[in-house]
Amino acid sequence: MKLAVAGGTGTVGAHVVEVARERGHEVVVLSRSAGVDLVTGTGLSDALSGVDAVVDVASTQTVSAKESTAFFSTVTRHLLAGESEKGVGHHLALSIVGIDRAPQSYYAGKVEQERIVRSGTVPWTILRATQFHEFAAQIRARASFGPVSIIPKMLSQPIAAREVAERLIDLAERPPSGRVADLGGPRRERMAQMVRGQARAIGKRALVLEVPVPGAYGRAMRDGTLVTSAGADHGTQTFEDWAAAQSR
Ligand SMILES: NC(=O)c1ccc[n+]([C@@H]2O[C@H](COP(=O)([O-])OP(=O)(O)OC[C@H]3O[C@@H](n4cnc5c(N)ncnc54)[C@H](OP(=O)(O)O)[C@@H]3O)[C@@H](O)[C@H]2O)c1
């Protein structure tokens, strides 16, 4: 198959590209560093020639609901329009467990992304996953001041990005399936502990201050809204094993 991976240079995107190539698929990367801007649409139409399925794992780093919604709605509309024009038969989007119960901040954009995909004309699949193990490093990078990291009080059920990528390629190889079973990690973890563990694994010192984020979004982070419920599938690599592998 020929697959296009929107955000193919990102945290999960790099794994998606790797897994797809390992399985013998032809891969086109849609990202700014590969010459395709999904916000302006530059380079998109040509890149979608001959593509069978698009895996959308593009993202933006923001906690603003307005910015997130603008990004995900623009990117999704551009992708779906390009796919329609080129006859691409499958749009596959990666979303996040629990977003409809916490439709604020960054998640506002994810809710809108799902809505646009569902109401579009391109046959689709939506997979919701929990936070990646890599999220600990992403959040530490954004919220550190010297050795001090200010981390939201958050209950997560992290999963290896590689395992999410494998599931995405499994799904891309099948016909469009609509909303499929959620995918989470094997254990529930506190984000502050993950950040400490990730820093330790790469030989860094992290003084972690765990703070409750105010409002409904913060409550959802703390109260288990973002972990899996009955019917979900689960990966196998624990955060501890993943962090140990990073240190080697
Ligand atoms: N992080 C998590 O824990 C987690 C958990 C569950 C689901 N998700 C979902 O997984 C997806 C990927 O997240 P991630 O953390 O892997 O993202 P990421 O590491 O921040 O990567 C973002 C990707 O998007 C590309 N991108 C950004 N702006 C672009 C633009 N204007 N045009 C084209 N490409 C653009 C980036 O490439 P360039 O900079 O080269 O353009 C990069 O490849 C998102 O939909 C996210 O909501 C994330």
- Spell out, as residue ranges, where the chain has pLDDT lower than 50: none
CA 127–ligand 1 middle distance (angstroms): 15
CA 94–ligand 1 middle distance (angstroms): 10
CA 7–ligand 1 middle distance (angstroms): 5
Residue nearest atom 10 of ligand 1, based on CA coordinates? 57
pLDDT of residue 165: 98
pLDDT of residue 196: 94
Q: Tell me: the pLDDT tens digits for 136-178?
A: 999 999 888 888 999 999 999 999 999 999 999 999 999 999 9
Is any ligand 1 atom within 6 A of the Cβ of residue 228? no
Which of 15, 29, 31 best tests ligand 1's pocket when mutated (most atoms within 8 Å of CB)? 31
pLDDT of residue 130: 98
pLDDT of residue 248: 75
Class of domain 2-247: alpha beta
Q: Which of 140, 164, 141, 135 is nearest to 237 (CA)?
A: 164
Is any ligand 1 atom within 6 A of the Cβ of residue 7? yes
CA separation for the pair 224, 228 (Å, rounded): 8
Q: Which of 12, 19, 163 is nearest to 93 (CA)?
A: 12
Is any ligand 1 atom within 6 A of the Cβ of residue 32? yes
Q: How many CB atoms lie within 10 A of CB 209?
A: 11
Residue nearest atom 36 of ligand 1, based on CA coordinates? 7
Residue nearest atom 23 of ligand 1, based on CA coordinates? 7
SS (H, E, C) the chain: CEEEEECCCCHHHHHHHHHHHHCCCEEEEECHHHCCCCCCCCCHHHHCCCCCEEEECCCCCCCCHHHHHHHHHHHHHHHHHHHHHHCCCEEEEEEECCHHHCCCHHHHHHHHHHHHHHHCCCCEEEEEECCECCHHHHHHHHCEECCEEEEECCEECCECHHHHHHHHHHHHCCCCCEECCCEECCCCEEHHHHHHHHHHHCCCCCEEEEECCCHHHHHHHHCCCCCCCCCCEECCCCHHHHHHHHHC
pLDDT of residue 247: 78
Residue nearest atom 33 of ligand 1, based on CA coordinates? 31
